[in-house]
Amino acid sequence: MLIKKYDLKYDVQKLCSELNTLFPKKDYKWHNEFPCRKGTWYYNIYDNELPKHIENAINESIGVKIKPFSFLWDWNCTTLELEPHKDDYAAATAAHTKGQREEYISHFDDRVFVSDAKDSGRKDKSAPLNVVVGLQNYTRTEILNEKTGKWESMTYGPGEVIFFNNEDYLHKVFVVGEDKETVPKWSLNCYVDHSEVTDPLFWDKD
């Protein structure tokens, strides 16, 4: 299956409290471009700002090591779904360039697609794999399996972690909690290098 789900081996309420203390919501920034045109709030966490014990808990939960950068994502009930998209370099630059003559990429996306690709030996301007730690409300992620032509679906919530390739596969996301109009989707989004997945059949297994 193209989306994997794991239980977070850490108390999610404690995690939320720690993240709110370290990275207050008042410091988040607004983003309202494709694929979330109605707007979301985010906070970029750069190298080694995430406490080591949290990083270790995520690593233990998914069985591989996350990268030292991540971001917090609060949909704030303004956005309830993401349009079908791929999180590749072209999409990252298109979201910021806005008709400028020269291609522009944000500092965080440059870390994801450029410097980390170089540091990790990936192809130029490529992304690592995506890991999403559910903090608040329930979300359904659907990803298109190009081999079968079918959409694969995974629902996750607080204290659960999903792991998938969001660069190469078309995917869409929906908030599905009954209280989605009043309780925002909130998540910690992390990255894993492709080299961490050593089993060639990993994505084919249920």
From the list 133, 104, 102, 121, the residue with the least C-alpha distance to 33 is 104
Residue-level pLDDT at 98:
53
pTM: 0.94
Residue-level pLDDT at 35:
80
Domains and CATH numbers, the chain: 3-204 (2.60.120.590)
Residue-level pLDDT at 96:
52
Residue-level pLDDT at 75:
95
Residue 3: other Cβ atoms inside 10 A: 23
Residue-level pLDDT at 97:
47
Distance CA 68, CA 151 (A): 31
List per-block mean pLDDT (blocks of 10 residues) for the chain, which spans 206 residues.
97 98 96 83 95 98 97 95 92 62 75 95 95 98 95 98 96 95 96 94 87
Tokens 């679906």 identify what position?
Answer: 153
From the list 164, 194, 191, the residue with the least C-alpha distance to 45 is 191
